[in-house]
């Protein structure tokens, strides 16, 4: 159940701290700090205050904040219990459904990172696929401790912004939502293509591919909802598959047997989780085109 910003502004100090206690993992002191700065005119103002408090905190506190985070995909810690927030975030990237090989890979990452830096590897999981987490890790491991402390705090703030966005509704929005959408134009008949089954698959170099969502195009050739929306679009590789063979067959368009084009895959990468990415398909039974739209 969602709180409003007005609710937060009007709560007692203790209620306010309780509500935001885990906005930064196991760190109610941040909520205590900003409780005094109420009322906030908007959710961006509230978040900016929390972010400023983190960035101005003494190094020991920032280190403690980093250390308050669990390891990624760590079975022992999960068995012992995570915050509800951490649990949901890790599940969002499928970290609760890893193959044994993947678990081993994440364990390797966690250990390598922790043994070098003395604190856990923290990343805003909701902005990533499993593959891009491992890619992020490979890039960050060569850094030095100060660089990784800065980077960890940055990731913690991203985590906090997403938690706040889910917890509190306000008139303004935090800029944490990306969007992935598509559009199918039937250039054989010159109309939007309605009734095309679409599958969005997250591709993995590491383990198995995973269907993210399925949809069917509406009368405007679009999906009623964005393929991904209201949240970041996790960095990574995807495939959109369009069942155009069935579509043209159902319209009695003459086709070869088997149809030249049946299930068309568009394979692309997402690099800006908060961006708006539009991947349309222009299609006849004998040709197609796509492009990065916006």
**Nearest in space to 240 (alpha carbons), one of 228, 252, 251:** 228
| Number of residues binding to a copy of itself, judged by CB under 8 A | 42
Question: Hey, which residues between 103 and 132 contact a copy of itself (CB under 8 A)?
Answer: 132
Beta bridge partners of 200: 213, 240
Compute the distance between CA of residue 201 and CA of residue 194 in angstroms, rounded to an integer: 21
Tell which one of 189, 218, 225, 250 touches a copy of itself (CB under 8 A). Answer: 189
Helix (H), strand (E) at residue 264: strand 263-270
| Exposed/middle/buried for residue 238 (C-beta within 10 Å: 0-12, 13-18, 19+) | buried
**Cis ω for the linkage preceding 258 (within 30 of 0):** yes
Question: Torsions phi, psi of 154, nearest 5?
Answer: -60, -45
Compute the distance between CA of residue 95 and CA of residue 102 in angstroms, rounded to an integer: 9
Tell which one of 111, 214, 220, 230 touches a copy of itself (CB under 8 A). Answer: 220
Compute the distance between CA of residue 173 and CA of residue 34 in angstroms, rounded to an integer: 19
Strand extents, DSSP E, 71-183: 168-169, 178-181
CB nearer to a copy of itself: give 4 or 271: 271
Interface with a copy of itself includes 187 (CB under 8 A)?
A: yes
Interface with a copy of itself includes 289 (CB under 8 A)?
A: yes
Question: Hey, which residues between 191 and 210 contact a copy of itself (CB under 8 A)?
Answer: 191-192
Structure tokens at 238: 């995807």
**Which of these segments, 2-10, 50-58, 75-83, 181-189, binds a copy of itself (CB under 8 A)?**
181-189
Q: CB of 93: closest distance to a copy of itself in angstroms?
A: 17
Radius of gyration of the chain (CA): 22
**Which of these segments, 13-21, 40-48, 97-105, 231-239, binds a copy of itself (CB under 8 A)?**
231-239
Interface with a copy of itself includes 259 (CB under 8 A)?
A: yes
Residue with tokens 């155009």: 244
Q: What is the CA angle 255-217-203, rounded to 5?
A: 90
Cβ contact 277:181 at 8 Å: yes
Interface with a copy of itself includes 237 (CB under 8 A)?
A: yes
Interface with a copy of itself includes 243 (CB under 8 A)?
A: no
Tell which one of 12, 79, 190, 252 touches a copy of itself (CB under 8 A). Answer: 190
Interface with a copy of itself includes 188 (CB under 8 A)?
A: yes
Interface with a copy of itself includes 292 (CB under 8 A)?
A: yes
Structure tokens at 143: 């850094």
Question: Hey, which residues between 263 and 282 contact a copy of itself (CB under 8 A)?
Answer: 263-265, 267-269, 271-272, 282
Half-sphere exposure of 16 (CA within 13 A, CB side): 22
Interface with a copy of itself includes 227 (CB under 8 A)?
A: no
Interface with a copy of itself includes 260 (CB under 8 A)?
A: yes
**Which of these segments, 54-62, 71-79, 223-231, 249-257, binds a copy of itself (CB under 8 A)?**
249-257
Q: CB of 152: closest distance to a copy of itself in angstroms?
A: 21
Interface with a copy of itself includes 288 (CB under 8 A)?
A: yes
Chain residues in the site for a copy of itself (CB under 8 A): 132, 135, 185, 187-192, 220-221, 235-237, 254, 256-265, 267-269, 271-272, 282, 284-294
């Amino acid at each position: 159940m969602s709180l409003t910003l007005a609710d937060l502004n009007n709560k007692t100090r203790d209620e306010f701290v309780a509500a935001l206690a885990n906005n930064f993992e196991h760190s109610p002191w941040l909520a205590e700090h900003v409780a005094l700065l109420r009322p906030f005119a908007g959710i961006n103002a509230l978040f900016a205050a929390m972010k400023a408090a983190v960035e101005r905190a003494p190094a020991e506190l920032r280190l403690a904040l980093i250390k308050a985070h669990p390891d990624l995909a760590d079975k022992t810690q999960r068995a012992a219990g995570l915050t509800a927030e951490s649990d949901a975030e890790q599940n969002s990237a499928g970290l609760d459904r890893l193959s044994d090989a993947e678990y081993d890979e994440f364990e390797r990452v966690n250990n390598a990172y922790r043994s070098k830096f003395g604190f856990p590897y923290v990343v805003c999981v909701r902005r990533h696929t499993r593959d891009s987490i491992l890619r992020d890790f490979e890039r960050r491991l060569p850094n030095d401790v100060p660089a990784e402390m800065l980077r960890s705090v940055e990731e913690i703030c991203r985590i906090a912004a997403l938690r706040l966005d889910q917890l509190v509704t306000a008139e303004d929005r935090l800029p944490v939502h990306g969007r992935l959408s598509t559009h199918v134009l039937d250039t054989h008949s010159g109309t939007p293509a309605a009734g095309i089954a679409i599958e969005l698959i997250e591709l993995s170099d590491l383990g198995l591919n995973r269907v993210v969502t399925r949809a069917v195009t509406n009368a405007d050739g679009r999906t009623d909802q964005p393929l991904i929306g209201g949240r970041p679009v996790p960095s990574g590789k995807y495939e959109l598959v369009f069942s155009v063979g069935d579509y043209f067959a159902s319209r009695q368009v003459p086709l070869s047997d088997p149809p030249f084009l049946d299930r068309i895959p568009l394979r692309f990468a997402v690099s800006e989780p908060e961006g708006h990415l539009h991947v349309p398909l222009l299609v006849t039974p004998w040709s197609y085109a796509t492009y990065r739209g916006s």
